[in-house]
Amino acid sequence: MKIDRLLEIVIILLNKGTITAKELADRFAVSTRTIYRDVDVLSAAGVPVFTNKGNGGGISLLENYSLNKALISEQESEGLIFALKTLQATQYPEIDKILDKVGAMFKRSNSADWVYIDFSPWGSNPNEYNKFIDIKKAILECKVIIFDYVNSEGKKSRRSIEPMRLIFKGQAWYLWGYCRARQDYRTFRISRIKNVDLTNDLFERKKLEVIRNVECNENPKTMIALKLKFYPEALYRLYDDFDYEAVIKNDDGSYNVTAIFPEDEWVYGYIMSFGYYVEVLEPEHIRKIIEDKAKKLLKFYDK
């Protein structure tokens, strides 16, 4: 379409500075006469494009011209770049080329350098990153994936899944899709997915209603309201994990937090990860479970 060609000509000029009519004609498979007509159209529309003849000449834009004021605000441009950088982390096709174009449009050479996104966890090996890429590709291309999985109860299985979407919730990534073995939709924590095989078995993506309150566990869990008391040494983690309003400072310098979690081994381990800088105030049965686990742990070192 002509409008697409006109916009791309402007973006090319923003990136290259100067280009000949012949180069543009070859790129778009049109005549140089068509390119000069396009230049006239752009000029009439207020785009400051001009031509220079002779050696080193060509088609150029006035220096410092950009599209940001005409099309999008600076705040919107930063939001756009953030979204593009997120896609870049998934190796979305040709995203680097798009980022270059956006950077040129806003005349900010460092416009895409203020954020770096990596979906692989700290301490992971490179296969963790490739795993995420394979899953993303399977979702976009509607291909079945097969992988080994260990659920929260330690049970191992080989799964054949029609992947539907990636979900980020509770500081972790999950895959939601149709499990052919269970003949139902299931949610899988990405960190527990191993040995991913991307097959050529295609599936038809079903139209789904908007999923609300997706539960990121394979099996439904009982939700509990935990009341925890943290000591000052744990403060550096509290504002990472909880809302500011949920952290209540006590007169003795400690902090109380009330939060709702699913009750399972994960939450017991999470509480114990604070060591002796946390105390369970409520509910009583969770306090007892942590006490028993701490006693068992102590036995390993009493030996």
Proportion of the chain above pLDDT 70, given as a percent: 69
Contact call for residues 189 and 157 (beta carbons, < 8 A): no
Closest CA to 292 of 268, 276, 273: 268
Residue 6 has pLDDT above 70, yes or no: yes
Domain total in the chain: 4
Its pTM stands at 0.44
Residue 5 has pLDDT above 90, yes or no: no
Residue 196 has pLDDT above 60, yes or no: yes
Q: How far apart are CA 191 and CA 266, in angstroms?
A: 13
Query: 229 in a domain, yes or no?
Result: yes
Give 41-99 pLDDT, tens digit per residue.
888 777 788 888 777 778 988 766 655 444 455 555 555 555 555 555 555 555 555 56
Average of per-residue pLDDT values in the chain = 77
Residue 40 has pLDDT above 80, yes or no: yes
Query: 209 in a domain, yes or no?
Result: no
Q: Is 158 left (phi over 0), alpha (psi -120 to 50) or beta?
A: beta
Q: 190, exposed or middle or buried, with CB in 10 Å at 0-12, 13-18, 19+? A: buried
Residue with tokens 């791309």: 8
Closest CA to 130 of 161, 189, 138: 138
> Looking at residue 115, what is its pLDDT?
47
Q: For the ranges 42-46, 71-75, 156-160, 205-209, which has the lowest average pLDDT? A: 71-75
My answer on whether 142 and 189 are in the same domain is yes
Mean pLDDT of 139-150: 90
My answer on whether 237 and 294 are in the same domain is yes
> Looking at residue 251, what is its pLDDT?
92
Q: 33, exposed or middle or buried, with CB in 10 Å at 0-12, 13-18, 19+? A: exposed
Q: How far apart are CA 77 and CA 71, in angstroms?
A: 10
Q: Which helix (H) or strand (E) holds 78?
A: helix 74-89
Closest CA to 165 of 121, 195, 210: 210
- What residues are paired with 261 via a beta bridge? 224
> Looking at residue 53, what is its pLDDT?
76
Query: 117 in a domain, yes or no?
Result: no
Structural domain boundaries enclosing 286: 223-302
Residue with tokens 């068992």: 296
Contact call for residues 197 and 146 (beta carbons, < 8 A): yes
My answer on whether 186 and 240 are in the same domain is no
